[in-house]
């Protein structure tokens, strides 16, 4: 029998640029809620604690875990939309290195998945194991941003914006440099730390200067990643998804398949 489609509803997924926007807003909200609580409880020192220190103790840790886990979902949705856009360009535009771009796009999506997973892991990890989880998140984020910048370069001028691609490259370099400095100076600070609580690291403790540099570049890394996702807002502005079909088998109907 001929397959017939019914109840086709299109364009229900408009304004997909809201997903990267929500990701960035949730990070800002997380900082706005957890930082004052951590300061009030004297869990952190007021001058540049690590971002993850804001979720290390109760009660601010509960808000941190909830908000950042939710933000990881919006990050993953944004990664998927970007993946679908690149695939659409590969399928419908003519440009050099199309096959290479298609393969890199799949790798980029996988890296984006690990990045979103890393956000969820970091936001729910105990403080004692946050170092490894943070390193996993940093590496996966840098690799994803690197691949995304490369993909933006490969599909230009068939699609994309040269200025945005350049900004992505700059953000990628900032993330790489920030990550290297953060972990080098963080390790140096811990090697000479003479206190008992690394969360509340004050200037009178050994290694504070190194710790301050590491924490400062941790925030630079976070800021660069947020700006990167802000660029997705412009990238997704003219994109929308249509509602997918649900295919249901109906043996007793006059038609074999119904598209709902």
Question: Residue 126 has what pLDDT?
Answer: 76
Read off the pLDDT of residues 101-143 as tens digits, 9 standing for 90 and up: 999 999 999 999 999 999 999 999 877 677 788 889 999 999 9
Peptide bond into 73 cis (omega under 30): no
User: Is 2 a residue whose pLDDT tops 70?
Assistant: no
- Give dist(CA 13, CA 243) in Å, integer: 7
Distance, in Å, from the CA atom of 175 to the CA atom of 178, rounded to the nearest integer, reads: 5
CA distance 64 to 180: 25
Mean pLDDT of 194-213: 86
Q: Where are the beta strands (DSSP E) in 94-251?
A: 247-249
Say what the pLDDT of residue 198 is: 80
| CA distance readout (Å), 233 to 23, 50, 158, 226, 230 | 11, 27, 20, 11, 5
Q: Which helix (H) or strand (E) holds 76?
A: helix 60-92
Helices 162-191 + 130-155 axis angle, to 10: 160
Is pLDDT of 254 > 90? no
Q: Kindly report the average pLDDT of the chain as a whole number.
A: 86
The most confident of 51-65, 81-95, 209-223, by mean pLDDT: 209-223
Alpha carbons 74 and 78: distance in angstroms, whole number: 6
Best CA proximity match to 203, nearest among 47, 97, 60: 47
Residue, of 3 and 160, whose pLDDT is higher: 160
CA distances from 116 to 111, 112, 146 (A): 9, 6, 16
In contact, 150 and 104? CB cutoff 8 Å? yes
* 168-195 average pLDDT score: 93
pLDDT of residue 260: 47
Highest mean pLDDT, choosing among 48-52, 167-171, 255-259? 167-171
pLDDT of res. 244: 66
Whether residue 73 is predicted with pLDDT greater than 50 in this model: the reply is yes
Segment holding 257, helix H or strand E: strand 257-259
pLDDT digits (tens, 9 = 90+) for 7-60: 343 444 678 899 999 999 999 999 999 999 999 998 888 888 999 889 888 899
From 79, 86, 207, select the one nearest 156 (Cα to Cα): 86
């Amino acid at each position: 029998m001929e397959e017939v489609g019914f109840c086709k509803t299109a364009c229900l997924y408009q304004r997909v640029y809201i997903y990267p926007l929500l990701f960035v807003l949730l990070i800002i909200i997380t900082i706005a809620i957890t930082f004052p609580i951590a300061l009030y409880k004297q869990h952190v020192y007021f001058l540049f604690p690590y971002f993850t220190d804001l979720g290390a103790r109760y009660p601010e840790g509960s808000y941190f875990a909830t908000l950042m886990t939710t933000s990881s979902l919006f990050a993953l949705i944004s990664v998927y939309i970007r993946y679908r856009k690149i695939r659409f360009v590969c399928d419908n535009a003519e440009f050099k290195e199309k096959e290479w771009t298609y393969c890199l796009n799949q790798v980029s999506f996988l890296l984006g998945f690990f990045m979103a997973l890393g956000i969820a892991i970091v936001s729910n990890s105990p403080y004692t194991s946050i170092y490894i989880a943070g390193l996993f998140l940093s590496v996966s984020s840098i690799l994803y941003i690197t691949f995304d910048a490369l993909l933006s370069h490969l599909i230009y001028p068939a699609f994309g914006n040269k200025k945005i691609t350049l900004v992505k490259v700059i953000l990628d370099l900032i993330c790489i440099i920030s990550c290297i400095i953060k972990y080098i100076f963080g390790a140096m600070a811990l090697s000479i730390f003479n206190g008992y609580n690394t969360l509340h690291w004050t200037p009178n403790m050994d290694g504070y200067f190194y710790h301050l540099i590491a924490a400062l570049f941790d925030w630079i890394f976070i800021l660069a990643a947020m700006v990167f996702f802000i660029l997705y807002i412009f990238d997704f502005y003219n994109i929308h998804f249509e509602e997918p079909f649900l295919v249901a088998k109906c043996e007793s109907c006059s038609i074999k398949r119904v598209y709902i």
